[in-house]
């Protein structure tokens, strides 16, 4: 009888918890399946919230919505710091995913003084900002403050996804202070950009109408676009979690990934307009015709050592789009590493700490300055 009572009480508390979460999600107009299925899986798997973004850090500089974060190593082994530049669309913490599966934590433990740009949530102020203000203003300040705080003369710039594209544009315009460049899953030749290139063609998509109507591009619109990439798999992948509900590590990693995927921020309006036109529609970035602050972005101006990381199953930055970088830069020292993972897998898969990151850390170490003394 008492077992029945316990079970009934548990069922009641579960239904209250889940219906509460659903009503919050509905009120917020959430589209991501995580908002509705996440609470069910958490309760069924008996796991807590995934401990994402747990590497200790402190904010060393802010400008507008941007924050520069420092992940200081216990024992510093390299004089050259690493500055991570992430995309404006998602949150940077995919690079600081879970304890033991965090690229930032891994690099910090290798003795690097690690910094990351968190672009934050854009508001009305960021809506009117263009590439020049993001690159020549925010990123330039972030580079200067990284060098200042770490006491270094130059740094390794590590760009990921769209952050890689932005970082490449920055490196072409302001090569001073950059010792190395790592481009991870970075789209470069946008006409090789897969389905996104098709969807953003001017005959289908009027970016001016979108930015004029909304200002910053709302999360819902971006989410709807991502959902269209694989709408059925977006739901059916949850069934795999149902089957592995007794594997807490798998469930925690899955929930962490879904939480990150649902935690998007609006895309700053004017930057989005230029990004879609200059990159996806006209391929000006790749062809050297993109103009930022009155200057042409010429990738040939990048002469520092370059490491390109390719995810072989990448659908967001397909390999041909990323490998095109090699032929465009002025660098002599160029290395390309390929891994059998997807776009996000480079930063979150279990292969990361075992197979991918040690190789990356070795390359950066070989190209970094030694500590004096």
Q: Which residues bind another protein (CB under 8 A)?
A: 7, 10-11, 14, 40-41, 43-47, 63-64, 124-125, 127-128, 137, 141, 195, 198-199, 201, 203-206, 209-210, 212-214, 228-233, 236, 239-240, 242-246, 248-249, 252
**Token pair belonging to 55:** 């590497």
| Residue 168 beta carbon to another protein: minimum distance, rounded to whole angstroms | 25
Whether 154 is catalytic is no
Q: Are 195 and 228 in contact (CB under 8 A)?
A: no
Whether 214 is catalytic is no
Q: Closest CB to another protein among 22 and 205?
A: 205
Burial class of residue 4 (count of CB atoms within 10 Å of its CB; 0-12, 13-18, 19+):
exposed
| Residue 198 beta carbon to another protein: minimum distance, rounded to whole angstroms | 6
Catalytic residue among 57, 78, 96, 161: 161
| Residue 145 beta carbon to another protein: minimum distance, rounded to whole angstroms | 9
How far, in Å, CA of 171 to CA of 229, rounded?
31
Q: Closest CB to another protein among 239 and 369?
A: 239
Q: Closest CB to another protein among 117 and 307?
A: 117
| Residue 215 beta carbon to another protein: minimum distance, rounded to whole angstroms | 9
| Residue 192 DSSP symbol | G
Nearest to 288 by CA among 276, 300, 280: 300
Q: Closest CB to another protein among 75 and 232?
A: 232
Task: Name the 3-class secondary structure at 33.
Answer: coil
Whether 279 is catalytic is no
How far, in Å, CA of 274 to CA of 208, rounded?
10
How far, in Å, CA of 94 to CA of 349, rounded?
11
Catalytic residue among 113, 154, 278, 314: 314
DSSP calls for 267-298: BPHHHHHHHIIIIIIT-HHHHT--EETTEE--
Positions annotated as catalytic residues are 161, 314, 343
């Amino acid at each position: 009888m008492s077992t029945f009572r316990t079970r009934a009480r548990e069922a009641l508390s579960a239904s209250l918890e889940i219906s509460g979460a659903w009503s919050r999600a509905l009120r917020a107009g959430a589209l991501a399946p995580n908002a509705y299925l996440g609470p069910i899986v958490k309760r069924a798997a008996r796991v807590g919230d995934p401990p994402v973004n747990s590497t200790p850090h402190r904010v060393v500089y802010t400008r507008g919505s941007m924050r520069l974060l420092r992940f200081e190593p216990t024992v510093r082994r390299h004089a050259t710091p690493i500055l991570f530049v992430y995309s404006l669309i998602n949150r940077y913490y995919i690079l600081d995913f879970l304890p033991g599966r965090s690229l930032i934590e891994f690099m910090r433990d290798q003795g690097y003084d690690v910094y990351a740009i968190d672009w934050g949530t854009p508001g009305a102020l960021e809506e009117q900002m263009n590439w020049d203000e993001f690159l020549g203003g925010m990123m330039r300040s972030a580079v200067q403050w990284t060098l200042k705080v770490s006491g270094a003369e130059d740094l390794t710039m590590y760009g990921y996804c769209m952050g890689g594209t932005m970082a490449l544009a920055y490196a072409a315009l302001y090569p001073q202070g950059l010792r190395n460049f790592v481009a991870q899953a970075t789209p470069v030749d946008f006409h090789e950009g897969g389905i996104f290139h098709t969807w953003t063609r001017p005959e289908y998509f009027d970016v001016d109408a979108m930015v004029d109507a909304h200002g910053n591009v709302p999360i819902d619109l971006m989410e709807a676009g991502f959902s269209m990439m694989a709408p059925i798999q977006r739901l059916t992948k949850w069934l795999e979690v149902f089957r592995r509900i007794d594997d807490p590590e798998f469930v925690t990693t899955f929930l962490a990934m879904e939480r990150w995927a649902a935690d998007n921020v609006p895309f700053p309006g004017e930057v989005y307009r230029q990004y879609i036109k200059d990159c996806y529609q006209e391929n000006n970035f790749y062809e050297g015709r993109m103009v930022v602050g009155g200057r042409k972005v010429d990738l040939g101006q990048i002469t520092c050592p370059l490491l390109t990381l390719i995810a072989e199953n990448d659908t967001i930055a397909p390999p041909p789009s990323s490998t095109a970088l090699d032929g465009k830069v002025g660098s002599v020292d160029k290395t390309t590493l390929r891994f059998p993972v997807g776009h996000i897998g480079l930063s979150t898969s279990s292969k990361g700490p075992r197979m991918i990151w040690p190789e990356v850390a070795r390359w950066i170490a070989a190209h970094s300055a030694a500590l004096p003394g």
